[in-house]
Amino acid sequence: MFERLQGIEKRYREIEEEMARPDALANLESYKKLAKERAELKELAELFREWRKRSEEALSAQEILRSAQEEDMRALAKDETILLEKEKERLESLLKEKLLGKGEKQAKSMFLEIRAGTGGEEAALFARDLFSMYMKYAENMRWKTEVMTISLSDLGGIKEVILMVEGKDAYSTLRYESGVHRVQRVPQTEAQGRIHTSTVTVAVLPEPEELEISILPDEVRIDVFRSSGPGGQHVNTTDSAVRITHMPTGIVVTCQDEKSQHKNKAKAMRVLRARLKEKMESEKEQEMSDERRKQVGTGDRSERIRTYNFPQGRVTDHRIGLTLYKLQDVLNGDIVAIINPLIAHFQSETLKKG
């Protein structure tokens, strides 16, 4: 943990030196980025400096305690040592808390992407169930939600939906929902009552600020076409649907739920920025695949983070070995009993790595 803090304090010092240079304002864009990074590091760096100062003072007090001959001086040094050690513990606890927050991506809003995986129509029907579960949870948390795009199956299931969620700690709360969710139940499409296994993939992406991700006009191809599916009188009468292709990466985003082409384009650009940021961060971390593949895998039945077993009324999160026999409550949005242990587990893992 302290190695990470030393690195943060060193970078903070470097930024201060760069911003203090006479020519720092010559490149205003670069200066803004430095100022933003400095603001992000300020609290941790200054807390660490305070902890280091108290540590040095505690060592000095201990030295006086060992070497002092007079009883009064020894008593004063002892009291000072106790007070400084308590202050060190308080600062250490605060640093740990702030470092965990620093380790998590912060975002004002995020995108929750749900896609039907293996299992055809049954997978799409379960994707609808998961969408409903997250919507109810978001409502309980008083978060703002907006459907960016949705594609329905023939039986009313969901092939794909992208949900924007905006609210305090929404991303840090839901980020561990990313992965393959497996369902075991008798599908509506099964005539003989046999239990089937299907999968749905979930990805959670923080929405970047426009300043973070710059997209040049010549990097994208924008195609417009007529919307399909539910949508009222404007469906198939105007070219309001928008498909944006990011040429350098091949990322494609489609939005068709708004009647306005302009609104669909704005929504698609927001999703595209989130996917580009995700890709850039993955490359920065030198991962073999981008963040989406790490999160959702291929959608194969064997790659799962959680299983929803309907015959037993059971939900199991395989990452932390947690099993709850309250499936219906979970599907009704009561997922706190899963969310909180997951957050505690991954925060603990983060501190171990630190």
pLDDT of residue 324: 96
Asked if 300 and 325 sit in the same domain, the reply is yes
Domain of residue 300, CATH code? 3.30.70.1660
Asked if 258 and 312 sit in the same domain, the reply is no
Please compute the mean of the pLDDT values over residues 316-330 and round it to a whole number.
95
pLDDT of residue 107: 66
**pLDDT exceeds cutoff 80 at 287:** no
Asked if 169 and 123 sit in the same domain, the reply is yes
Domain boundary among 284, 301, 321: 284
Considering only CA atoms, which of 283, 288, 339, 331 is closest in space to residue 310? Answer: 331
Tokens at residue 25, please? 């304002």
pLDDT of residue 296: 57
Residue pointed to by tokens 């205003």:
28
Max Cα-Cα span within the chain:
95
Interatomic CA distance for residues 199 and 204, integer angstroms: 17
Interatomic CA distance for residues 317 and 304, integer angstroms: 9
Please compute the mean of the pLDDT values over residues 163-186 and round it to a whole number.
92
Domain boundary among 88, 103, 118: 103
Asked if 237 and 266 sit in the same domain, the reply is yes
Count how many domains the chain has: 3
- Mean predicted lDDT score pLDDT of the chain: 84
Interatomic CA distance for residues 219 and 269, integer angstroms: 12
Asked if 298 and 221 sit in the same domain, the reply is no
Contacts of 187 (CB under 8 A, 6+ apart): 119, 121, 122, 125, 196, 198
pLDDT tens digits, 102-136: 545 556 789 999 999 999 999 999 999 999 999 99
pLDDT of residue 240: 83
Asked if 196 and 297 sit in the same domain, the reply is yes
Give how far Cα 38 sits from Cα of 17, 42, 60, 285, Å.
11, 6, 32, 22
Please compute the mean of the pLDDT values over residues 282-305 and round it to a whole number.
57
Asked if 203 and 262 sit in the same domain, the reply is no
Asked if 181 and 227 sit in the same domain, the reply is no
List residues bridging with 166 in a β-sheet. Answer: 109, 144
Domain of residue 225, CATH code? 3.30.160.20
Helix or strand holding residue 248 (H, E): none
Domain of residue 54, CATH code? 1.20.58
Residue-range definition of the domain harbouring residue 221: 217-284
pLDDT of residue 318: 95
Helix or strand holding residue 194 (H, E): none
Strands 179-185 and 306-309: parallel
Contacts of 197 (CB under 8 A, 6+ apart): 119, 182, 183, 184, 301
pLDDT tens digits, 139-174: 999 999 999 889 999 999 999 999 999 998 899 899
**pLDDT exceeds cutoff 90 at 1:** no
**pLDDT exceeds cutoff 60 at 61:** yes
**pLDDT exceeds cutoff 60 at 316:** yes
Please compute the mean of the pLDDT values over residues 167-188 and round it to a whole number.
90
Asked if 94 and 243 sit in the same domain, the reply is no
- Residue 232 pLDDT grade (very low, low, confident, very high; cuts 50, 70, 90): very low
Asked if 179 and 119 sit in the same domain, the reply is yes
**pLDDT exceeds cutoff 90 at 307:** yes
Sheet holding 220-225, edge to edge: 220-225, 241-246, 251-255
Asked if 237 and 204 sit in the same domain, the reply is no
Contacts of 86 (CB under 8 A, 6+ apart): none
**pLDDT exceeds cutoff 50 at 288:** no
Report residue 135 CA to chain centroid gap: 17
Interatomic CA distance for residues 58 and 65, integer angstroms: 10
Sheet holding 314-317, edge to edge: 144-152, 158-166, 109-116, 196-206, 179-185, 306-309, 314-317, 322-324
Please compute the mean of the pLDDT values over residues 215-229 and round it to a whole number.
83
Question: 223 near 243, Cβ under 8 Å?
Answer: yes
- Looking at per-residue confidence, does 287 or 248 come out higher? 248
Domain boundary among 249, 284, 319: 284
- Looking at per-residue confidence, does 283 or 225 come out higher? 225
Percent of the chain surpassing pLDDT 70: 86
Asked if 187 and 279 sit in the same domain, the reply is no
